[in-house]
Amino acid sequence: MNFQETFAHILQSDLPLQGKLDAFKVEFDTRLAPPAAVEALHRSVDELIASGAPARALKVGDVAPAFTLPDPDGNPVSSEALLAKGPLVATFYRGVWCPYCNYELTALEAARPQIEARGASLVAISQQLAPNSRKSQRQNGLGFPILGDHAGEVASQFNLRWTLPEYLRVAHRTLGADLPIFNGEDSWTLPMSARYVIAQDRTIVYAEVNGDYTRRPEPSLMFPVLDQLASRRS
């Protein structure tokens, strides 16, 4: 099976989110990607974690920055407007080129009815250009928006943005993930994998940040926090 066939085969399985990520990683590392690129990706994860960057990201108890970002059709979406209606679930999305991110988006879409039933809104935030976000929404069957964070300004406010070293840029180009083309700017930055639940007063009440982009929490882990917020409002 090629890349897309492998992705689809695993997506259709009954595995939980992390099980799908693990299964795809085995195929990617051993069969789908050049060994030099795989080595570069592993090295970058180790270096990012060792740098302490994940620990510096905003965490539970911090106040989330307010933001207004465009959806793929150019309509402004304000965090303040969403929080006026209820809590906000925000996930930071590397891009349409990232299979691990796309598995996460499909898992969040599957959980969206349960998230919305608890009174919360759901958005993804990505540095990629609007046409790529439209493609992400279409291919992953999303009922929630991917908001455009040009040059990662909001990711930076959450202390999530990091700069890819030169050896990793080479690997990304080898794999067809030339970020200046996907993102429309040449900073070569990405957000770390991150998911937040933000209460209506902008307090972060759930935070999951990982320097390893192949590790993603199950969406259901947010439900107890959303239930607590709902009980406070009732």
Assess whether pLDDT exceeds 90 at residue 130: yes
* 71-90 average pLDDT score: 98
Mean pLDDT for the stretch of residues 3-14: 97
The average pLDDT across 115-139 equals 98
Q: Which domains does the chain have, with CATH numbers?
A: 3-233 (3.40.30.10)
CA separation, residue 229 to residues 116, 134, 217, 224 (Å): 13, 31, 20, 9
Average pLDDT over residues 84-112: 98
Q: pLDDT at residue 85 above 90?
A: yes
pLDDT of the residue at 232: 86
What are the tens digits of pLDDT across the range 150-177?
999 999 999 999 999 999 999 999 999 9
Given a cut of 90, is residue 33 above it in pLDDT?
yes
**pLDDT band at 119, cuts 50/70/90?**
very high
Mean pLDDT along residues 10-17? 98
For the chain, the average pLDDT equals: 98
The pLDDT confidence band at residue 88, using thresholds 50, 70 and 90, is very high
Is the pLDDT at 58 greater than 80, yes or no?
yes
Closest by CA to 28, choosing from 18, 39, 17, 15, is 39
For residue 120, pLDDT over 90 is answered with yes
List, for residues 192-233, the tens digit of each pLDDT value. 999 999 999 999 999 999 999 999 999 999 999 999 999 988
| pLDDT computed for residue 233 by the predictor | 80
